[in-house]
Amino acid sequence: MSEVRTVDVAEVEAVVRKLCVEANHELRADHVAALQRGRDAEESPIGREVFDRLLENARVSAAEQIAFCQDTGYAVVFLTVGQDVHFTGGSLAEAIDRGVAEGYSDGYLRASLVRSPVDRVNTGDNTPAMVHYDLVPGAGIELTLLVKGAGCDNMSALRMLTPAAGVEGMKRFVVETIEKAGPSASPPVTVGIGMGGTFDRAAVLAKRALTRDPTGSPSPDPKLAELEAELVDAINATGIGPAGFGGTVTTVAVHVEAYPTHIAAFPVAINLDCHSHRVRSVTL
Amino acid sequence: MTDLRLPLADPAALHSGDSVTLSGTVYTARDAAHARFLEAIDAGEDLPVDVDGATIYFVGPTPARPGHVIGSAGPTTASRCDAYSPALVERGLAAMIGKGRRNAEVKASMLEHGCVYFGAIEGTAALLSQCITAAEIVAYEDLGAEAVRKLTIADFPALVVNDLHGGDLYDDGPARYRR
């Protein structure tokens, strides 16, 4: 039997607070590099200008500590916890929410969450965080924060395809979703795709796929990597371009994750992230 | 790049795809403020701001740091206000600034009443905040980030999306690069 590792939830709270501030002010270096590659590939003059402004915005945001985007998003947390970890000091979920509330207050970030979709009263501190827990062997803790803008989340889609529709049907669904989103998803987008599992599993896979580091790196599965490259090409062929003003680069990265599914099913979830792709990960 | 003053002196001279900078007064409003505008109109009450000749910027900024006029302030998705915009355009609204497509009803209303729609880039929100030289809340303070603010903007970069001649950059731009 392995040793139990004790972790005070205050440690998680402090990490979440720090990541909320960092993620909202400094794009990950690999994402800046992906934007730079996009700029180099873009053929439209207006499109190149959009990329230049995005890159300048990244510099100003970090230097002046002004949030990269005014939509400072949902705080989506992926917490992968070893089963030998024992959290002390109170509720883990509450500690994560305290970290979000402190980070959003200290970082002058916008409180964008309402307590109910019906009465729409702002919670005032951007809580609750949207937390996904994974329990794994060992005693490690990995925490990833995705600051998820709503404009692009709103343009996301999930469909239960038939096995007969297959990969070709999936590709058509992806292009259709990108076309429908148009400028509203704030391209150049990062596209997270979850295939397989159940209705709910596909959606979580898609969101998790967005956090792949570095942005635009291929799937380790050669078949999925090939599919990702085909999808990048198909999405860029739409001509939507940076900010939707027309151009040859509509996406800087497509990340596909797959999972076992039912003999009768082919769930596909497509989660879009705007040019303000804000992710931070730490190992505790 | 054309430097324009608000209110626009000659909106008919603008064409979809023109790169411009805007200077002057704009009012901020998002979904929640628009819903209240419409409630006021339905109740026969005056709007808290005079929309005749005015420009609305769809934005909900982040809080200002001490010593700053405003926080990060890029455009939000305009289509969420499509249900509300025609009623304001009919009352003389002269321009809107946001991101994303407008629906057919809004576009028809803009053409009929002479309203221009400008597109700004959401991922430049930190840069755009530096083009805002004054900000004050003028209505619905309880809405927080969604309150209506009067902003003074200077050299605020935007593109003409919907002009007064039926042009739509979100159709015409992508059509040029579609493969």
User: Which pLDDT tens digit goes with each residue over B2-25?
Assistant: 999 999 999 999 999 999 999 999
- Measured CA to CA, the distance from residue A84 to residue A135 in angstroms comes to 10
Low-confidence ranges of chain A (pLDDT < 50): none
Segment holding A47, helix H or strand E: helix A45-64
Nearest Cα neighbor of B85 from B103, B70, B61, B67 is: B103
Which three-class secondary structure state does DSSP give residue B101?
Answer: coil
Average pLDDT score, chain A: 97
What pLDDT does A115 receive? 97
Q: How far is B142 from chain A (nearest CA, A)?
A: 10
Q: Do A70 and B59 touch (CB under 8 A)?
A: yes
Domain ranges of chain B: 2-7+22-177
Does residue B7 have a cis peptide bond before it, meaning omega lies within 30 degrees of 0? yes
- Measured CA to CA, the distance from residue B96 to residue B111 in angstroms comes to 13
Which three-class secondary structure state does DSSP give residue A281?
Answer: strand
Beta pairing, strands A157-161 & A189-197: unpaired
Nearest by CB to A66, from B72, B174, B176: name it.
Answer: B72
For residue B59, the chain A residues in CB contact (below 8 A) are 70
Which three-class secondary structure state does DSSP give residue A222?
Answer: helix
User: Which pLDDT tens digit goes with each residue over B103-162?
Assistant: 999 999 999 999 999 999 999 999 999 999 999 999 999 999 999 999 999 999 999 999
Percent of chain A at pLDDT > 90 equals 99
What pLDDT does A97 receive? 98
Q: How far is A259 from chain B (nearest CA, A)?
A: 32
Domains identified in chain A and CATH numbers: 5-26+68-148 (no CATH), 150-277 (3.30.1330)
Average pLDDT score, chain B: 97
Report the number of secondary-structure helices (H) and strands (E) in chain B.
Answer: 5, 7
For residue B1, the chain A residues in CB contact (below 8 A) are none
Asked if B59 is an interface residue toward chain A (Cβ–Cβ < 8 A), one would say yes
For residue B129, the chain A residues in CB contact (below 8 A) are 66
Beta pairing, strands B148-162 & B19-28: antiparallel
User: Which pLDDT tens digit goes with each residue over A85-96?
Assistant: 999 999 999 999
Nearest Cα neighbor of A238 from A171, A193, A192, A168 is: A171
At A78, list the tokens: 């992926």
Q: Do B72 and A239 touch (CB under 8 A)?
A: no
Nearest Cα neighbor of A250 from A262, A261, A258, A242 is: A242
Which three-class secondary structure state does DSSP give residue B164?
Answer: coil
For residue A275, the chain B residues in CB contact (below 8 A) are 122-123
At A127, list the tokens: 């809580």
Q: Do B177 and A44 touch (CB under 8 A)?
A: yes
What pLDDT does A179 receive? 98
Q: Do B170 and A183 touch (CB under 8 A)?
A: yes
At A171, list the tokens: 């590709």
Q: How far is B60 from chain A (nearest CA, A)?
A: 7
Nearest by CB to A240, from B123, B157, B174: name it.
Answer: B174
pLDDT mean over B163-175:
98
DSSP A185-215: G-SSEEEEEEEEE-HHHHHHHHHHHHT-SST
Q: Do B72 and A69 touch (CB under 8 A)?
A: yes
The 10 Å Cβ neighbour count of residue A221 is: 13
pLDDT mean over B55-64:
97
Nearest by CB to B125, from A43, A68, A245: name it.
Answer: A68
Residue A161 identity: L
- Measured CA to CA, the distance from residue A125 to residue B75 in angstroms comes to 22
Residue B97 has pLDDT above 60, yes or no: yes
Q: CB neighbours of A95 closer than 8 A, spacing ≥ 6?
A: A9, A10, A12, A13, A16, A89
pLDDT classification of B1: cutoffs 50, 70, 90: confident
pLDDT mean over B46-70:
97
- Measured CA to CA, the distance from residue A237 to residue A248 in angstroms comes to 7
* Chain B CA closest to residue A187: B123
- Measured CA to CA, the distance from residue A10 to residue A17 in angstroms comes to 11
Q: Do B121 and A237 touch (CB under 8 A)?
A: no
What pLDDT does A1 receive? 55
May I ask the CATH class of domain B2-7+22-177? alpha beta
At A80, list the tokens: 């992968």
